[in-house]
Amino acid sequence: MTVQKTVKSLIVGGLAGAAAARLAYAALTRNPPGCKGRDGRRVWGRTNHRGEPVTLLEGPALVAGAAVGGALTPGLPGRVRAAALLAGTVCGALGAYDDLAGSASSRGFKGHLGALARGEVTSGAVKIVGIGTCGLAAAALAGTAAPTRAGRAFDVLTGGAVVAAAANLMNLFDLRPGRAIKVGLLTGTPLAAGGAGRAAVVAAPLGAAIALLPEDLGERAMLGDAGANALGALLGLAATRLERGPRLAVLAGLVALNVASEFVSFTKVIAGNPVLNRLDMLGRRPPAPPAGAAPASEAEKDIA
């Protein structure tokens, strides 16, 4: 019966998330929302690692797909369904805010917290605080089975940290076409296979991500902070449903990778590993910059 529930959640939630994401992407790209009188295509347009134009509207489309699909996924308790809606939409909205209002002057935790220490409130700092708060709220809303008050508080704190760390880490992988979605699929599949509860949480966002993967690999669109933060937060929320030991192991791994990102380039690490590089290049165009072009930087999310 548990296997049947898992499969049903994955099929219904995944298809609903995929359909909603494709419909949202078509609607958004047909009539991109503007901002302060600016043309919507310029608002959401960016330049990728090749120097070619892409749109960030893939991110809002994934958020919409995850929200609609999550509402239709069977097998989700009301509290967990509400927590998923909160984590996906709020982290997505905070990511969209950083996409539209952010600049390249400060990057990473070190950059944003350093700017905050100087009295400068960056959009990234707002996002860091907001996603941390959202993670705690989502973990508290989803609930915990701990029998004591101290145990419940501990589970909420560690669960909130998992959601926030996963949201930030997924964004760090959104530097090349399809990379963040591939990471999402590689990490989300084991979570989905672990039980109906976790499968119901990840079904809609993974379905939405798969539906949008062709746009990402085709270098027509990218998740941006909105899509990557939402996808990571929802996978993190699914991980909070793990037992305490595995959940703490996941948190340790997420923290270690977030810290490592301040000192090493994930792109260089992936390029230097034959297996990781093969996975990273799967479905992508060959990395051949135009003759005479300047070397590609890792500031792909700079405002065009």
Read out DSSP for the chain?
-HHHHHHHHHHHHHHHHHHHHHHHHHHHHHS---BTTB-HHHHHEEE-TTS-EEESTHHHHHHHHHHHHHHH-TT--HHHHHHHHHHHHHHHHHHHHHHHH--SSS-HHHHHHHHHHTT---HHHHHHHHHHHHHHHHHHHH----SSHHHHHHHHHHHHHHHHHHHHHHHHTTTSTTHHHHHHHHHHHHHHHT-HHHHHHHHHHHHHHHHHHHHHHTTSB--HHHHHHHHHHHHHHHHTTS-HHHHHHHHHHHHHHHHHTTTS-HHHHHHTSHHHHHHHHTTSPP--PPTTPPPP-S-TTSB-
pLDDT along the chain (304 residues), means of 10: 82 96 97 77 88 94 97 92 97 94 62 63 84 96 90 96 97 95 96 87 97 97 97 97 94 96 93 96 80 46 37
Domain encompassing residue 168? 2-281
pLDDT, residue 5, reads 83
pLDDT at 29: 95
Whether 301 maps to a domain, the answer reads no
Query: Which residues face 221 on adjacent strands?
Result: 55
Q: Residue 203 is encoded by which pair of tokens?
A: 């079904």
pLDDT of residue 298: 40
Domain contains 132: yes
- Asked, for residue 277, whether it belongs to a domain, the answer is yes
- Has residue 295 been placed in a domain? no
For residue 270, tell me if it sits in a domain: yes
Distance from C-alpha of 203 to C-alpha of 190, rounded to nearest angstrom: 12
In this structure, is residue 212 part of a structural domain?
A: yes
pLDDT at 119: 65
Map residue 54 onto helix, strand or coil.
strand
In a domain, 248, yes or no: yes
Q: Is residue 204 part of a domain?
A: yes
Number of domains into which the chain is organized: 1
